[in-house]
């Protein structure tokens, strides 16, 4: 007997209560228990069956941990068919999140009731698969083809009200889920209601599936699961029977289940949850976090303040002058206007956030009560040190002093204070109130509870927080600097920035590196290059200067309307700037380089090899704890395609030996840039993968 489903009788009703915390995933024990429960109810003469979930939710889906393992009987699709075929009246009562296989069990039941707060959805596309237990066949039969397609291809969650309007549930009732479920089932019995199987309803309407398939494929930027769902729903409308439709759904489901994209997306699902769970933080209490100070209200400071205000924290914004502080407030208000327009906050909240929760200051005394201060002033060590000296003098005991520096040495900044244990890097990404990534940069002397508070802040701001060690650029910008150099080398050798951007967006990146540089501002990279050259470049390093010439002419990318691309006001994206090709041609001539042709495939391989090699160095040196930390950094901060899982998951899928082979070949022409990462060599020698390291360190 399975204990995951508790069976009991309430008069004529057999009650099946799921107990598989935390989310009642439909693992083998639950499936066995449901099957046994239905059979027992039929055997013992019940008239109806009520299915509901104990704890926080109805079934939140199939058990994702079982994916990739040999399937175990009873299979979910068969179970759903069995529930639907029962001669008894089967009712599901929903609360929490009835997702994926959960909603499919509900759709196989004959009637559905939900509490008002219940959420539903078929989010399988986000895992690289499709609803594989009849969801693509049953949902369109109740909600109609168009509506079902939108829900399935987007994978979005929807509320009980929308589900009721769409015919997905039959009733909404307030109260305890078991109580409302029992009352509804009894009412159905009292009325002599008929068994009502969704699968026996007429097939949904036929639409132009080919056009929808193409449109969905395009929108998915290379992700296959949403478009494949269109074909499955097409089978619901066009197949001669439910059984045939289900068969087609199964074929397509298996195709996706065996795909690399499914591997990537499942890796992303679990890594997103694992990334902020660090063994050393177990049981470490974060420090109190209510009042925040932000120093410098430019692009980043204003964004950070916005995020903090939206998370319910009070913010003191300190600037260099009263005028600069007012300007910072203007930027914050502008950001909050966006939230107001999107309905995320009300007018009243907007006023409260800008007029009460936010305070402007020019004097450090205003920071004396702050629990945590984040500095976002100019990227200059001398300025940072001056600011931290003042913070040391004015902030209360135990206050956390954080820097948002992109590249500077956090140890050196910490040394400007008498309390380096309270100093940490909190590296946000632009725009800080939108981008999900937060690098929590741990310096040599940072106390553990300060690290825990960094992660706590990330959680409050709804960020994906990644632990990083101190080095030039931490995890993300350090890896970016390397793959960006690989792109620059290819430009010198014959590829155009536009071919490179196109090859990489075709690979699935949100943007190519040159379009990204235009968006971030070419002045940022220019300043870094100047700093590096001043420090002295290694003579073996290939340097390129054509982009400096763009900057020297006052062109910094999107913000000045011109960079690698030319941007017209009001238009999204830009067109290639012809001056750039001329500048590149003269630099090649100066350096005596005869340009050669690059295939898109070679561009992607070199770019990704550079990224993976540097990422392996970052993990090998302990800057990132685990490969998955790099993967999440690139996914949430650098537009890496989620369906590829991250650069190191991608590397595992390609095969590390093959990749190291490419790096060694490239090293024959430039041994300095392409020096293989020792960790990569070690993994290849030992026949292990990055994922093995993830497992060993989680
Ligand atoms: N299978 C296995 N484990 C799951 C799971 C699932 N379907 N859903 C969640 N979990 C685990 C999480 O990994 C996490 O584990 P951890 O504590 O060890 O890290 C734990 O349950 C709690 O999850 P969250 O931290 O995400 O809790 P939240 O309250 O923030 O969110 C949720 C709950 C909305 C249910 C969210 O977990 C979620 O979206 N889950 C995935 C839902 C989903 O995709 N379902 C479809 C599955 S595929 C399917 O059903 C195929 C079918 O069509 C054949
Ligand atoms: P910015 O130039 O837009 O803003 C800096 C602000 O700091 C200005 O408003 C200036 O008035 C103020 N300021 C300067 N010195 C000050 C001082 N001594 N006291 C008080 N205020 C002072 O710069 P931005 O882009 O916001 O960058 C800030 C920091 O964030 C830098 O360290 C940068 O490296 C980092 N960063 C920038 C990102 C970006 O994309 N712009 C991304 C992530 C980090």
List, run by run, the mean pLDDT of 10-residue segments along the chain (698 residues): 91 98 97 98 98 98 94 97 98 98 98 98 98 98 98 98 98 98 98 97 98 95 96 98 98 97 98 95 96 97 98 97 98 97 96 97 97 96 97 98 96 98 97 97 98 98 98 97 97 98 96 94 90 92 93 94 93 91 96 97 98 98 98 97 98 98 98 98 98 92
Q: Which ligand is nearest to the CA of 96?
A: 1
Which residue in the block uniquely carries the two structure tokens 């296989």? Answer: 101
> Ligand 2 centre and the CA of 375: distance in Å?
8
Indicate which residue's Cα is closest to atom 10 of ligand 1. Answer: 23
Pocket test for ligand 2, best of 299, 322, 525 (most atoms within 8 A of CB): 299
Which ligand lies nearest the alpha carbon of 107?
1
Q: Of all atoms in ligand 1, which is nearest to the CA of residue 60?
A: 35
Which two three-digit tokens encode residue 125?
């596309």
The residue annotated as part of the active site, out of 42, 66, 84, 104, is 104
- 329 token code pair: 């407030």
Three-class SS of 391-410 = HHHHCCCCCEEEECCCCCCH
Peptide bond into 22 cis (omega under 30): yes
Q: Give the mutation target among 326, 328, 378, 435 for probing the ligand 2 site: most ligand atoms within 8 A of CB.
A: 378
Give distance in angstroms: CA of 122 to centre of ligand 1: 12
Residue 441: asked if its preceding bond is cis (omega within 30°), the reply is no
**Residue identifier of the C-alpha nearest atom 40 of ligand 1:** 60
Helix count (H) and strand count (E) of the chain? Answer: 29, 19
Q: Is the CB of 101 under 6 A from ligand 1?
A: yes
Return all residues near 127 (Cβ < 8 A) that are at least 6 apart.
64, 67, 225, 262, 265, 266, 269
Q: What is the 3-state secondary structure (H, E, C) of 300-346?
A: HHHHHHHHHHHCCCEEEEECCCHHHHHHHHHHHHHHHHHHHHCCCCC
Q: Give the list of residues 6+ apart from residue 631 with CB closer than 8 angstroms, or none.
A: 267, 268, 271, 640, 645, 646, 647, 648, 649
Residue 128 CA, ligand 2 centroid: distance in Å: 39
Under 8 Å between Cβ of 410 and 425? yes
Bond before 9 cis per omega within 30 degrees: no
Distance, CA 537 to ligand 2 centroid (Å)? 26
pLDDT for 104 equals: 98
Closest Cα to atom 45 of ligand 1: 61
**Residue 603's closest CA among 669, 505, 475, 680?**
505
Query: In which residue are the tokens 């939206």 written?
Result: 310
Distance CA 482, CA 147 (A): 45
Residue nearest ligand 2's atom 31 by CA: 379
Helix, strand, coil fractions of the chain, as percent rounded to 5 = 55, 10, 35
Closest atom of ligand 1 to 273 CA is 19
121 C-beta closer than 6 A to ligand 1: no
The sheet with strand 97-99 has its strands ordered as 97-99, 119-121, 158-159
Which numbered ligand comes closest to the C-alpha of 698? 1
Write down the pTM of the prediction: 0.95
The single residue of 84, 124, 319, 456 carrying the catalytic annotation is 124
CA nearest ligand 2 atom 15, residue: 377
- DSSP labels, 647-676: HHHHHHHH-HHHHHHHHHHHHTT-TTTTPP
Residues within a 6 A CB radius of ligand 2: 295-301, 318-320, 324, 376-379, 383, 387, 404-406, 428-430, 520
Q: In which order are the strands placed within the sheet that holds 13-18?
A: 5-10, 13-18, 48-53, 89-94, 111-114, 171-172
Q: How far is the CA of 23 from the centre of ligand 1 (A)?
A: 7
Q: Return the SS3 of 479.
A: helix
β-strand pairing of 565-566 with 575-576: antiparallel
Strand order of the β-sheet with 291-295 is 358-361, 314-318, 291-295, 372-375, 400-403, 423-428, 437-442, 464-469
Question: For residue 422, how far is its CA from the centre of ligand 2 (angstroms)?
Answer: 21
Q: Among the bound ligands, name the one nearest to the CA of residue 271.
A: 1
Neighbours of 109 (CB within 10 A): 24
CA of 296 to the centre of ligand 2 (A): 6
Mutate to test the pocket of ligand 1, among 4, 21, 23 (most ligand atoms within 8 A of CB): 23
* Rounded Cα gap, residues 102 and 104, in angstroms: 5
64 lines ligand 1 (CB under 6 A): yes
CA of 98 to the centre of ligand 1 (A): 11
Which value, in Å, is the radius of gyration of the alpha carbons in the chain? 28
Structure tokens at 236: 């619901």
614 included as an active-site residue: no
60 CB under 6 A from ligand 1?
yes
Q: Could you tell me if the CB of 635 is within 6 A of ligand 1?
A: no
Cα–Cα distance between 679 and 691 in angstroms, integer? 13
Q: Give the residues across from 441 on adjacent strands.
A: 425, 468
CA distance 235 to 230: 9
How far apart CA 268 and CA 690 sit, in angstroms, is 14
Residues 195, 192: Cα–Cα separation, whole Å: 9
Q: Ligand 1: which of 26, 61, 78 to mutate, most ligand atoms within 8 Å of CB? A: 61
> Is 669 one of the annotated active-site residues of the chain?
no
- Site to probe by mutation for ligand 1, drawn from 24, 60, 694, 695 as the one with most ligand atoms within 8 Å of Cβ, is 60
């Amino acid at each position: 007997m399975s204990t995951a489903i508790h069976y009991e009788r309430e008069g004529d009703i057999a009650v099946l209560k799921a107990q598989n915390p935390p989310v009642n995933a439909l693992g083998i024990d639950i499936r066995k228990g449901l099957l046994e429960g239905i059979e027992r109810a039929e055997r013992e003469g019940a008239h109806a069956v009520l299915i509901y979930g104990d704890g926080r939710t109805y079934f939140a889906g199939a058990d994702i941990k079982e994916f990739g393992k040999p399937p175990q009987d009873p299979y979910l699709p068969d179970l759903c068919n069995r529930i639907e075929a029962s001669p008894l009246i089967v009712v599901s009562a929903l609360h929490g999140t009835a997702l994926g296989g959960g909603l499919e069990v509900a759709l196989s039941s004959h009637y559905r009731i939900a509490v008002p707060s219940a959420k539903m959805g078929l989010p399988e596309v986000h895992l690289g698969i499709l609803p594989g237990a009849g969801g693509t066949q049953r949902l369109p039969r109740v909600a109609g083809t168009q509506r079902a397609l939108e829900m399935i291809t987007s994978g979005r969650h929807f509320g009980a009200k929308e589900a009721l309007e769409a015919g997905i549930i039959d009733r909404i009732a307030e109260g305890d889920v078991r109580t409302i479920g029992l009352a509804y089932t009894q009412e159905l019995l009292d009325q002599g209601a008929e068994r009502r199987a969704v699968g026996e309803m007429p097939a949904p309407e036929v639409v132009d599936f080919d056009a929808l398939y193409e449109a969905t494929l395009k929108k998915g930027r290379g992700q296959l699961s949403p478009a494949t769902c269109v074909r499955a729903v097409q089978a619901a409308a066009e197949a001669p029977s439910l059984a045939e439709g289900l068969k087609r759904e199964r074929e397509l489901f298996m195709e996706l289940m065996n795909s690399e994209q499914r591997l990537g997306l499942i890796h992303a699902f679990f890594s997103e949850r694992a990334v902020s769970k660090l063994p050393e933080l177990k049981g470490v209490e974060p420090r109190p976090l209510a009042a925040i100070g932000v120093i410098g209200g430019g692009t980043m400071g204003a964004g950070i303040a916005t995020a903090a205000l939206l998370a319910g924290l009070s913010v003191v914004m300190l600037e260099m002058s009263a005028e600069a502080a007012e300007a910072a407030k203007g930027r914050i208000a502008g950001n909050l206007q966006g939230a107001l327009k999107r309905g995320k906050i009300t007018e009243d909240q907007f006023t409260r956030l800008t007029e009460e929760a936010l305070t402007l200051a020019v004097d450090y005394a205003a920071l004396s009560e702050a629990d945590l201060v984040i500095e976002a002033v100019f990227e200059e060590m001398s300025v940072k040190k001056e600011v931290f000296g003042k913070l040391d003098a004015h902030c209360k005991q135990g206050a956390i002093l954080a820097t948002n520096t992109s590249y500077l040495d956090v140890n050196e900044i910490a040394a400007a204070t008498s309390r380096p244990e309270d100093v940490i890097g909190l590296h946000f990404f632009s725009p800080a109130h939108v981008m999900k990534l937060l690098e929590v940069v741990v310096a040599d002397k940072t106390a553990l509870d300060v690290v825990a508070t960094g992660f706590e802040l990330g959680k409050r701001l709804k960020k994906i927080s990644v632990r990083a060690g101190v080095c030039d650029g931490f995890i993300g910008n350090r890896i970016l600097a390397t793959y960006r150099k690989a792109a620059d080398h290819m430009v010198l050798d014959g590829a155009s920035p536009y071919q490179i951007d196109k090859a990489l967006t075709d690979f699935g990146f949100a943007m190519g590196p040159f379009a990204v540089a235009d968006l971030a501002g070419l002045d940022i990279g220019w300043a870094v290059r100047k700093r590096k050259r001043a420090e002295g470049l290694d003579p073996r390093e290939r340097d390129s200067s054509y982009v400096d010439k763009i900057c020297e002419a006052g062109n910094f990318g999107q913000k000045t309307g011109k960079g690698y691309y030319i941007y017209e006001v009001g238009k999204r994206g830009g067109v290639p700037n012809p001056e750039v090709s001329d500048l590149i041609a003269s630099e090649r001539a100066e350096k005596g380089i005869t340009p050669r042709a690059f295939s898109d495939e070679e561009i992607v391989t070199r770019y990704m090899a550079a990224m993976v090699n540097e990422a392996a160095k970052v993990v090998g040196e302990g800057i990132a704890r685990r490969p998955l930390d790099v993967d999440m950094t690139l996914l949430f901060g650098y537009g890496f395609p989620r369906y590829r899982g991250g650069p190191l998951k991608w590397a595992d899928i390609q095969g590390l030996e093959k990749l190291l082979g490419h790096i060694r070949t490239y090293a024959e022409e430039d041994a300095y840039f392409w020096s293989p990462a020792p960790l990569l060599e070690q993994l290849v020698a030992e026949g292990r993968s990055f994922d093995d390291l993830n497992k060993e360190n989680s």
